[in-house]
Structure 1
């Protein structure tokens, strides 16, 4: 099945195009990844225009590529859609910067994503979750994936102190940046869609940064403006690109983890029943949902030196795509990996990445998922499918653009 809800059918590798966003929206990458892990753990693909990249699909190789920044750099682009294009934000944006500068940029931000700041965001997140679940109070068909799109603004909006009335347009623009081939976002062409998204988001944050500089507050924008590295304070441009990165990261993970986990629970109703009976299983549900959905589907790195991985050697200078969804189904690490199991104990998933670029917002995402399922368990006796899910057309985000559901409300 498309979501890995059973061992995928055997798939050959001839003609497979993992670069094509449509394959991830309409095909079954899990079947291809299973074949790769077994027979081609290091697989090279050349595009018609001559660009090429290697794919790694095993958990151990994924950890090595993501964890060893001296061997695999992030500074030439971290997204597969950037393949062969220099990253204009290299050395300035967290995701496009290697240690030690990455560490210097990240360290001051850590306190915003833990402790009191995280606790302060909880009320706003819970309000947003209740808004997402509002249709569950009545019988009827509704789209959970589209409503879950409200969550990134609750999470990132609280930490960045963004006006709630800006949420709809910011959500749409980040969707354009994450999935420029998806029919919900595409404007003329993928390139045009990305250009429009970047122009609007950078213009928005340029104006916001200008208005925030020199003012008091504890949000992420003002913290960026107050930061100093060995080179001095961050410029407005550096603050802008990191604001963009934080918002894109929130949009690329949390709502898709929510929708994808609900889809898994509809396919495995006994798991939802188990959590309903024993609320102590909620943390296990969150972690299994993250492993299962792997919403940040791929990360890109470039080899700095010749690097040996399972299946061969990546020459220096070549691009390497890490397929997170595959690593999170690796039979070498996960017992019965195609079983959705909220009681899974040894769950070393890579949904938030690995190494120095481990997701800054991981704790916030976990908080949001925990609150969502706490509220869902209070409000919903049963989730039932009400139509065919539609997957996002993207080689970066593994998510759901549509998830029609019917819910049976709890009456107690």
Structure 2
């Protein structure tokens, strides 16, 4: 089903039967029928599971922003992904993504300085070079764009983190495994075994890197200089934050690439606009981010009894903000199921919102703009050369296989 088709479930559908935890829903590539139904009928919806766990689904744009903005009512310290539902993230309060101010602020500020637009300007030629090499590989017959794009972020994030190139491919597989433990291509036995195996290897890797790191080692070096409560980061805190930085880049940026190219294939007129007017590249990137919403959700827990759109939320309740739904909210975006590279304004929440707005957003935007400028300048069109296969993950709105034929423009 194309994501440009607005669909909703039948009015008789029992909302309590909807299973937003089922990875097969995302493997189909289109959870939008459920999200649309929830926006219309129950924008703040409580789902109770047979095992006693429960969570609120928040699907409207303004409600999503309210939850993500207000860390006093909705805490990140118990974990931010559905994979920890019913438990507590051991990295809570230690990792930037799973902490609240002031700890979050202390972790965020030094990394944000290194990843600011100004700090990244000298890195632009390197990113353009990486983008050019990716296109060269695509030009050689039918190629799987998803497989090639999977390694795209490592070429710059890996470099910024001081990770040797020979480790990039393995780390790319491990980070995907960590967020798609039930996908057949990444599953190692059962779900828990898959998560344990991926996390053990990733944490062990960064433990070794952290022990050898110095203050001059880019992002890892910046973390070595962080002080929380008058002390430096403990070893486990350093490892958790290295893991989080890599995960954030590896499991989102590649899917913005593939989903945007797929949108261009399905909407050739929009691609032609970008080719004819390179000034539209930035707008196309932003629309691609809204369209793809690479992170499906972020989780919070109510830090106190509160209300949300008139619903009573109890202290400790899990609250899931569905970013992909917020970015198709008809109350905010005109014709949200139309891919429009000229959309303005485009206040999407693909990078989250509030204190936890993605610290790597400037880096991701720089990389995506460089890649799509290269594409618009040299690619006449993309054609699908086989079926598109989506990642079975409730977190990443990903494509794992997308064979394409790339027709380059002749001089």
TM-score tier after normalising by the smaller chain length: over 0.9
- Judge which range, 10-19 or 223-232, deviates more: 10-19
What is the Cα deviation at residue 191 of structure 1?
0.8
After TM superposition, give the deviation of residue 185 of structure 1 in Å. Answer: 1.1
Structure 2 matches for 1:105-124, cutoff 5 A? 105-124=107-126
SS in 2 for 1:151: coil
Kept in 2, the 8 Å contact 1:79–1:298? The answer is yes
| 3-state SS of paired residue (2:126) | helix
Q: Report the counterpart of residue 187 of structure 1 in structure 2.
A: 188
Corresponding residue of 2:256: 257
| Counterpart among 96, 100, 103 of residue 98 in structure 1 | 100
CA distance 1:261–1:27, shift in 2 (3 Å): closer
Match of 1:152 in 2: 153
Q: Distance in 2 between matches of 1:362 and 1:383?
A: 27
Distance verdict in 2 for CA 1:27–1:46, change over 3 Å: farther
Q: Is the 8 A contact 2:215 2:222 kept in 1?
A: no
Which whole-Å CA distance do the structure 2 matches of 1:284 and 1:27 have between them? 24
Report the equivalent of 1:346. 345
Q: Which residue of 2 aligns with 1:58?
A: 60
User: What is the match of residue 369 of structure 1?
Assistant: 368
Residue 36 of structure 1 is matched in structure 2 by 38
Name the stretch that deviates more: 227-236 or 325-334. 227-236
After superposition, what is the alpha-carbon deviation per residue over 1:294-326, rounded to whole angstroms, capped at 9, x for unaligned? 001110000112222225221211101110000
Q: Report how many residues are paired.
A: 408
Is 1:198 the equivalent of 2:199?
A: yes
* 290 and 218 in structure 1: CA distance in 2 versus 1, 3 angstrom threshold: same
> Once the 2 structures are TM-superposed, how far is the Cα of residue 86 of structure 1 from its aligned partner?
1.0
Change in Cα spacing, 1:27 to 1:372, as seen in structure 2 (3 Å) is closer
How far apart are the structure 2 equivalents of 1:70 and 1:388? 45
- In 2, are the aligned partners of 1:21 and 1:181 still within 8 Å (CA)? yes
Change over 3 Å in CA distance of 1:127–1:150 after alignment to 2? farther
Q: Please state how far the C-alpha of 1:79 moved relative to its aligned partner.
A: 0.2
In structure 1, the residue matched to 2:23 is 21
1:267 match: 266
Note if contact 1:155-1:250 (Cα within 8 Å) is conserved in structure 2. Answer: no
RMSD: 1.4
CA contact (8 A) 2:57 2:321 kept: yes
User: What whole-Å deviation, never above 9, does each CA across 1:364-393 have from its counterpart, x for those lacking one?
Assistant: 000111011011122210011112111110
Q: What pairs up with 1:10-409 in 2 under 5 angstroms?
A: 10-11=9-10, 12=13, 13=15, 15-26=17-28, 28-138=30-140, 140-212=141-213, 215-310=214-309, 312-409=311-408
Asked if structure 2 preserves the Cα contact closer than 8 Å seen for 1:51 and 1:83, the reply is yes
- Does the 8 Å contact 1:132/1:150 carry over to 2? no
> 1:359 Cα shift?
0.2
State whether residues 136 and 379 of structure 1, in contact with CA within 8 Å, keep that contact through their aligned partners in structure 2. no
Q: How far apart in 2 are the matches of 1:313 and 1:235?
A: 38
* Deviates further, 356-365 or 111-120: 111-120
The CA deviation at 1:189 is 1.0
Check the 8 A contact 1:264/1:340 in 2, yes or no: yes
Cα distance in 1 for residues equivalent to 2:83 and 2:137: 36
TM-score by length of 2: 0.96
The answer to whether the 8 A contact 2:76-2:97 is kept is: yes
Distance 2:42 2:301 in 1: 19
Q: TM-score, normalised by structure 1?
A: 0.96
Residue pair 2:106, 2:226 contacting (<8 A) in 1 also:
no
Contact 1:144 1:405 in 2 (8 A): yes
Q: Is the 8 A contact 2:77 2:100 kept in 1?
A: yes
1:14: Cα distance to partner?
A: 5.2
The CA distance in 1 between the partners of 2:369 and 2:405, in whole Å, is 21
Contact 1:132 1:144 survives alignment (8 Å): no
CA contact (8 A) 1:225 1:236 kept: no
Q: Is the 8 A contact 1:93 1:238 kept in 2?
A: yes
Instruction: Write the deviation string for residues 175-204 of structure 1: whole angstroms up to 9, x where unpaired.
Output: 111111112211001111110111101110
Q: Secondary structure at the match of 1:133?
A: helix
CA shift for structure 1 position 239: 0.9
Q: Which runs of 5+ in 2 are unaligned?
A: none
Q: Which runs of no fewer than 5 residues in structure 1 stay unpaired?
A: none
Q: Any conservation in 1 of the 2:97–2:244 contact (CA below 8 Å)?
A: yes
Aligned partners of 2:215 and 2:225 also within 8 Å? no
1:335 CA drift (Å): 0.6
